[in-house]
Structure 1
Amino acid sequence: MIAPFRLLPLLFLASTQTVAGQADHDAARAAVQAGEVRPLEAILAGLPTQVAGELLDAQLQRSADHWRYVLKLLDSQGQMREVTVDGATGAVLLVEGR
């Protein structure tokens, strides 16, 4: 049997990740509402046909003062691509899995 005090660090870690995740989500939402970042729908609509596909996953990430979307897309041949898009301009920065 695991002693209850040994579980406390795990519970603390889980709760801080949830709070941090919520804070990230709130920051991303605020950036979209403030016009710093384009909404996901606008990003997807602006993708060139060469990289467009079915959206599997989308993450909005911030590094320094730069927002970017990391999209996982399934193309018409069934290949998964990871596409990195500038969150402010919609410009495709990187395509992996061609």
Structure 2
Amino acid sequence: MQKEKDIFVVGLMVDERGTKAPDVQQVITRYGSHILCRNGIPSPSRDRGIITLTMEATEEEYRKMEQELKELHGVTVDSIHFRQPESFQVCQNNQA
């Protein structure tokens, strides 16, 4: 039986983005098959960047990525977890 996948909206704040970006990118790439959308906002006045990710993953998959990101010095991670009820179906087509 396949584990249920939920939606996670993840916010990352990356200090010293010029030097930390490659490390952050490596982690994000490892979980790329779960990422539905990515948005990045650099802060030109400061050496900081904000990345938002929307991902569909099991809670275990998300927690692994979160832990890897939190291990990077200067990276702050926060998220919103939307649990999908078993009856939730995307684009269900009910024709009479």
Relative to the length of structure 1, the TM-score reads: 0.31
Largest Rg, 1 or 2: 1
Q: Give the strand-richer structure, 1 or 2.
A: 2
**Whose helix proportion is higher, 1 or 2?**
1
Higher relative contact order, structure no. (Cα contacts within 8 Å, ≥ 6 residues apart): 2
